[in-house]
């Protein structure tokens, strides 16, 4: 990329033919051609260059989705980027592309709950075995490896508990064993971390979150290396997992301000993390303290941090945690994140899934905060007024 990301995001598309700074919204199921020879020519182009946007049918995509693919491929610095209807659709496409019966997958223990259900339970029906590793002890990857292992699946930082891992060490081990690697990079997006560039084969982002940024659209992306491109394009063709042109248009609209929003999310989150770190009964799960292990591995690979963090709260009365969360006025209560608004959730222990390496004491509880784009002073005041409920 010969320009900075900030400039690139503002100049992702210009159409001087239509005199539009935004790509046209093309909705179609049937694509019409002047003749059969014209149709066959497009088919030949698609075979020769399957990344070129040579579509013959609406399920393959339209000019609108093709523009978003190009933008994300540039942002990811990947070989190609596939689009799916949801973030979880990208998780499924990743696993469906790579794994086959009798294969094994090694997965980070702090995993997005639906991904855990998919890998730990559902894949068993297809004779695919999932093994979980400790993000704080990567030797557990080596212990779980067998000649049936086909994929190491990383979520970084860990879901809800926000463990940061030595990504280079994982990639190095995988390359030595000639197995593939995938990462859920939704927390950082390729604005702060480019997984394909550092050696991952597949990189998942829920476009529902920061790409969109306005909590009004769902989508997912799967960036890939050349090594796995043919597997993924075949799987996507067989599953029909495609993003609609309307959703692609909304995501492109949001992504123009990705840099501005992420940096504001980061600034607000750091302010709130510093405020909460002074409270004796709260451990802030966010990379802002230089003497922490998580900070070391974050700093090694990332150029920034987003607005999502965890709080490990130690209190005798569990109900007081709910009262703390419920009393917040500027933090909504709901799933997802990545929009302009702040959110807070008390993540019950059963919502963490069947965690093997989760070490929570009897009186410790996890609250997840998504720090939005509000005035940080107002957010801190809101939190401060609610802390009195923690007992």
**82 and 197 share one domain:** yes
Domain boundary pick from 255, 275, 292: 255
Same domain, yes or no, for 119 and 263? Answer: no
Lowest mean pLDDT of 18-32, 145-159, 274-288, 355-369, name the range.
Answer: 18-32
Q: Total structural domains in the chain? A: 2
Q: What average pLDDT does range 80-93 have in this prediction?
A: 97
Residue 265 has pLDDT above 90, yes or no: yes
Are both 168 and 250 inside the same structural domain?
yes
pLDDT digits (tens, 9 = 90+) for 212-246: 999 999 999 999 999 999 999 999 999 999 999 99
Q: Is the whole-model pTM more than 0.75?
A: yes
pLDDT at 322 over 80: yes
pLDDT at 281 over 70: yes
pLDDT at 353 over 90: no
CB < 8 Å & 24+ apart, contacts of 225-230: 225/78, 225/79, 225/196, 225/200, 225/201, 226/79, 227/180, 227/201, 228/97, 228/98, 228/180, 228/201, 228/202, 229/51, 229/79, 229/80
- Amino acid 188: pLDDT: 98
Answer whether residue 14 shows pLDDT above 70.
no
Do 235 and 266 lie in a common domain?
Answer: no
pLDDT band at residue 56 under the 50/70/90 scheme: confident
Last residue of a domain, one of 221, 255, 289: 255
Which residue is associated with the tokens 């197995």? 179
Indicate if 265 and 245 belong to the same structural domain: no
Q: Which domain holds residue 17?
A: 5-255
Look over the chain and give the mean of its residue pLDDT values, rounded to a whole number.
93
Q: Is the pLDDT of residue 26 over 90?
A: no
Tell me: do 277 and 232 sit in the same domain: no
pLDDT surpassing 90 at residue 294: no
What integer is the mean pLDDT of 311-315? 95
* CA–CA gap between residue 150 and residue 98 (Å, rounded): 8
Q: What is the CATH number of the domain that holds 214?
A: 3.40.640.10
CA dihedral (208, 214, 217, 221) positive or negative: negative
Domain end residue (candidates: 227, 255, 283): 255
| Lowest mean pLDDT, pick from 20-34, 71-85, 109-123 | 20-34
Rounded CA-CA distance 257/212 in Å is 9
349: pLDDT strictly greater than 80: no
Residue 211 has pLDDT above 90, yes or no: yes
- CATH number, domain of 370, equals 3.90.1150.10
pLDDT at 54 > cutoff 80: yes
Confidence category of residue 198, pLDDT binned at 50, 70, 90: very high
Q: What is the pLDDT of residue 362?
A: 87
pLDDT for 16 = 67
Range with the poorest average pLDDT among 1-10, 168-177, 268-277, 328-337: 1-10
- Which range has the worst mean pLDDT, 68-82, 180-194, 282-296? 282-296
Residue 170 has pLDDT above 80, yes or no: yes
Q: 298 and 229, same structural domain?
A: no
Handedness of CA 195, 196, 202, 204 (dihedral sign): positive
Verify that 184 and 69 share a domain, yes or no: yes
376 and 309 housed in the same domain: yes
- Tell me the average pLDDT across 78-102: 97
- Per cent of the chain over pLDDT 90 is 78
Say whether both 184 and 265 belong to one domain: no
pLDDT score at 172: 98
Q: Indicate whether 77 pLDDT > 80.
A: yes
Residue 269 and residue 168 in one domain: no
Q: What is the 3-state secondary structure (H, E, C) of the chain?
A: CCCCHHHHHHCCCCECCCCECCCCCCCCCECCCCCHHHHHHHHHHHHHCCCCCCCCEHHHCCHHHHHHHHHHHHHHCCCEEEEECCHHHHHHHHHHHHCCCCCEEEEECCCCHHHHHHHHHHHHHHCCEEEEEECCECHHHHHHCCCCEEEEEEECCCCCCCCCCCHHHHHHHHHHHCCEEEEECCCCHHHHCCHHHHCCCEEEEECCCCCCCCCCCCCEEEEECCCCHHHHHHHHHHHCCCCCHHHHHHHHHHHCCHHHHHHHHHHHHHHHHHHHCCCCCEEEECCCCCCCHHHHHHHHHCCCCCCEEEEEEECCCHHHHHHHHHHCCCEECCCCCCCCCEEEEEECHHHHCCCCCCCCCCCEEEEEEECCCCCHHHHHHHHHHHHHHCC
- The pLDDT confidence band at residue 9, using thresholds 50, 70 and 90, is confident
Average the pLDDT over 92-117 and give the result: 96
For residues 66 and 45, give the distance between their C-alpha atoms in angstroms, rounded to a whole number: 15
My answer on whether 162 and 311 are in the same domain is no
pLDDT tens track for 179-188: 999 999 999 9
- Which pLDDT value is given to residue 25? 82
Question: What pLDDT, on the 0 to 100 scale, is given for residue 230?
Answer: 96
- Torsion angle of the four alpha carbons 333, 212, 196, 65, in this order, in degrees rounded to the nearest 10: 140
pLDDT of residue 293: 81
């Amino acid at each position: 990329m010969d320009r900075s990301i900030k400039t690139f995001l503002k100049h992702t598309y210009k159409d001087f033919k239509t005199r539009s700074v935004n790509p046209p919204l093309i909705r179609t199921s049937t694509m019409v051609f002047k003749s059969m020879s014209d149709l066959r020519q497009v088919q030949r182009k698609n075979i020769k260059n399957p990344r070129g946007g040579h579509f013959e049918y609406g399920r393959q995509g339209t000019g609108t989705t093709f523009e978003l693919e190009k933008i994300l491929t540039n942002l990811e610095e990947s070989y190609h980027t596939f689009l799916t209807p949801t973030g979880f659709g990208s998780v499924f496409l990743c696993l469906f592309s790579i794994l086959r019966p009798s294969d094994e997958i090694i997965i980070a223990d702090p995993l997005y709950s639906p991904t855990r259900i998919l890998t730990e339970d559902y894949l068993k029906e297809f004779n695919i075995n999932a093994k979980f590793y400790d993000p704080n002890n990567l030797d557990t990857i080596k212990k779980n490896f067998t000649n049936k292992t086909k994929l190491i699946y990383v979520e970084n930082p860990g879901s809800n508990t926000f463990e940061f891992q030595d990504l280079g060490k994982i990639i190095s081990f995988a390359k030595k064993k000639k197995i593939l690697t995938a990462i859920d990079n939704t927390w950082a997006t390729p604005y702060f971390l480019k997984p394909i560039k550092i050696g991952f084969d597949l990189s998942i982002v829920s476009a529902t979150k920061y790409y969109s940024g306005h909590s009004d659209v769902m989508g997912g992306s799967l960036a890939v290396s050349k090594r796995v491109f043919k597997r993924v394009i075949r799987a996507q063709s067989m599953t029909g997992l495609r993003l609609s042109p309307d959703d692609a248009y909304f995501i492109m609209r949001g992504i123009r301000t990705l840099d501005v929003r992420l940096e504001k999310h980061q600034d607000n989150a750091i302010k709130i993390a510093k405020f909460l770190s002074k409270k004796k009964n709260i451990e802030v799960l966010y990379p802002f303290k230089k003497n922490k292990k998580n900070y070391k591995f974050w700093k090694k690979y990332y150029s920034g941090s987003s607005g999502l963090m965890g709080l490990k709260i130690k209190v005798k009365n569990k109900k007081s945690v709910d009262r703390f969360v419920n009393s917040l006025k500027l933090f909504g209560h709901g799933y997802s994140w990545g929009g302009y608004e702040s959110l807070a959730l008390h993540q019950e222990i059963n919502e963490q899934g069947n965690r093997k390496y989760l070490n929570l004491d009897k009186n410790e509880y996890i609250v997840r905060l998504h720090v939005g784009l509000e005035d940080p002073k107002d957010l801190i005041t809101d939190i401060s007024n609610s802390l009195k409920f923690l007992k």
